[in-house]
Amino acid sequence: MRLVLLGPPGAGKGTQARMLEKRLNVPQVASGDLLRAAVRERTALGVEAKSYMDKGALVPDDLVFKLIDERLSRPDAAGGFILDGFPRTVAQAETLAEMLNARGGARLDKVVAIIVPDEEIVKRISGRRTCRNCGAMYHVIYDPPRNQDLCNNCNTELYQRDDDAEDTVRMRLEVYATSTRPLLEHYGRLGLLSEIDGIGSPEEIKERIFRALDRAGKPGKSQ
């Protein structure tokens, strides 16, 4: 299964990708996580990317392509993947199609867009907390950790992302509207897109995604 999850910042792409990867038995490939790892490791790519991420702007394509191409080349992605945060523009979608084609003529199976209104996005992003160690994600109201500010899995401190400040979130929403939303039309034209309502519990949304995969003839059960 080669699946792309689309949606505005904070729509729940990462939450869903982590839930889906267990059932679909393919890895989540999240461009934001790959970029944040490069920033943490202070690689040259990470240092350059950080200045764009801090503003809520898109990181230049050549940097993102390098990370995605390397990640898709790893053996665990040979049988499929769940892309989260990539592609983000029509130009990136075209490059992705070329990257897949170069890997033995592979193609995407499905694109699912999670639709969430802006006011809910602001609530979700402002309450998001992430584990510094294992990357587990929480929400202070919707999915709080058992111990305040500590991860349930590894007891490590939780943090708030630098780009989750209000001004930066506004910028990310603008970038989504101008650069990423046109992808819905692009994938709609290719017959790959399902749009699903992103309001509800994470479990309910996961089931909506599986129904969309079933309708596309891509069963959501683990193989």
Residues binding ligand AP5 (CB under 6 A): 7, 9-15, 31-32, 35, 52-53, 56-59, 64, 85-86, 88, 92, 124-125, 127-128, 137-139, 142-143, 163, 172, 201-202, 205
If 0-12 CB within 10 Å is exposed, 13-18 middle and 19+ buried, where does residue 113 land? buried
> Tell me, what DSSP letter sits at residue 77?
G
Residue 3 CA to residue 200 CA, distance in Å, equals: 21
Q: Which is nearer to ligand AP5, 32 or 80 (CB)?
A: 32
> Of these residues, 55, 123, 161, 218, which one is catalytic?
161
Helix intervals (H) in 73-139: 90-102, 118-126
> Of these residues, 88, 129, 206, 208, which one is catalytic?
88
Catalytic (active site) residue 107: no
To ligand AP5, the closest distance from the beta carbon of 69 in angstroms equals 12
Q: Which is nearer to ligand AP5, 110 or 124 (CB)?
A: 124
Catalytic (active site) residue 88: yes
Q: Which is nearer to ligand AP5, 110 or 208 (CB)?
A: 208
Residue whose beta carbon is closest to ligand AP5: 32
Say which residues have a Cβ less than 8 Å from residue 146's Cβ, sequence separation at least 6: 152
Residue 137 CA to residue 159 CA, distance in Å, equals: 10
> Tell me, what DSSP letter sits at residue 133?
T
- Bridge partners, residue 195, by sequence: 113
To ligand AP5, the closest distance from the beta carbon of 222 in angstroms equals 21
> Of these residues, 2, 128, 129, 208, which one is catalytic?
128
Catalytic (active site) residue 128: yes
* Nearest of 7, 19, 15 to residue 33 by alpha carbon: 15
Say which residues have a Cβ less than 8 Å from residue 205's Cβ, sequence separation at least 6: 12, 16, 114, 196, 197, 198
Q: Which is nearer to ligand AP5, 11 or 45 (CB)?
A: 11
> Of these residues, 13, 71, 206, 208, which one is catalytic?
13
Instruction: Just list the catalytic residues.
Output: 13, 88, 128, 161, 172
